Structure 1
């Protein structure tokens, strides 16, 4: 098995594990398991691919996304997290989701690089499904109701996913 395929497989498995670990951990007020998934995934990715510069830029983009998007949702009253964080600062497990998701555009989500419409559709639908399941499991609530949150989430994630895919594509194009 070549290293690029192995890194993509590690990322795919890590990304699939991250969401339930983060959300269930949030319900139980455990942040460490989510961060453990992210850290193990990154260590394995960097052992296999050594794309730490490109990955670091995407991690930074994920952190910036978290800083810009989550406070907007929280301050408007669209979203309230059950545990951790504050009135406007997102809880630790949300940070782990943003970072794990962002770095995935160099690996298992790289297929979206040349497909901005698919990226927007995946972002809109996936974002709404993700937040809806998180609410259903008790990790968050929608104080203003599900519909306003779903509409806002669909619009935000329809923009965020193509932006992350485009950023990753530019990183790939710069690589030797």
Structure 2
């Protein structure tokens, strides 16, 4: 298996581990396991690909998205996290998800780079599905109800996913 395929598999597995560790861990106020998964995933990716510069822009973009999106959702009452954070500042485990998700556009989600329409559909559906699952696991609630949350989440994620995919495409062009 070559390094690119190995990094893609490592990222896919890493994010599949990160999501439940972060969401289920949030109910138990466990912060360290989610961040440990992110650190291990990045260490493995950077050992295999040695492409940390390409990933850095996505990590920063993921953090910026977290700073812009989460406070809006929390402050408006669309979403409430059961543990951590505050009335407008997202909890630590949400940060780990944003960073793990954002870096995935250089690896397991790279297939969305040249498919902006698919990225929008995947973002809208995946965002609503993910937050709904998180709510069902008890990590969050939708104080205004599921429908207002879904109607808010879908368009936000229909923009975020193509944005991150586009950023990944540009970064890959610049580093070649």
Q: TM-score range by the shorter chain?
A: over 0.9
State how far apart, in whole Å, the 2-side matches of 1:166 and 1:79 are.
27
State how far apart, in whole Å, the 2-side matches of 1:168 and 1:91 are.
26
State how far apart, in whole Å, the 2-side matches of 1:150 and 1:29 are.
26
Deviations 1:89-147 (A, max 9, x none): 00000000000000000000000000001100000000001000111111000111110
Match of 1:77 in 2: 77
Deviation at 1:27, TM superposition (A): 1.1
TM-score by length of 2: 0.99
Q: Secondary structure at the match of 2:30?
A: coil
Match of 1:34 in 2: 34
Match of 2:13 in 1: 13
**Structure 1 residues not aligned, in runs of 5+:** none
**Structure 2 residues not aligned, in runs of 5+:** none
Deviation at 1:31, TM superposition (A): 1.0
Q: Secondary structure at the match of 2:29?
A: coil
Aligned length in residues: 176
Match of 1:116 in 2: 116
| 1:158-169 correspondence to structure 2 within 5 Å | 158-169=158-169
RMSD across aligned C-alpha pairs, in angstroms?
0.5
Deviation at 1:28, TM superposition (A): 1.1
Q: Secondary structure at the match of 1:131?
A: helix
Match of 2:97 in 1: 97
State how far apart, in whole Å, the 1-side matches of 2:100 and 2:88 are.
21
TM-score by length of 1: 0.99
State how far apart, in whole Å, the 1-side matches of 2:165 and 2:16 are.
18
Q: Secondary structure at the match of 1:149?
A: helix
Match of 1:146 in 2: 146
- Structure 1 stretches of at least 4 aligned residues deviating more than 3 Å after TM superposition: none
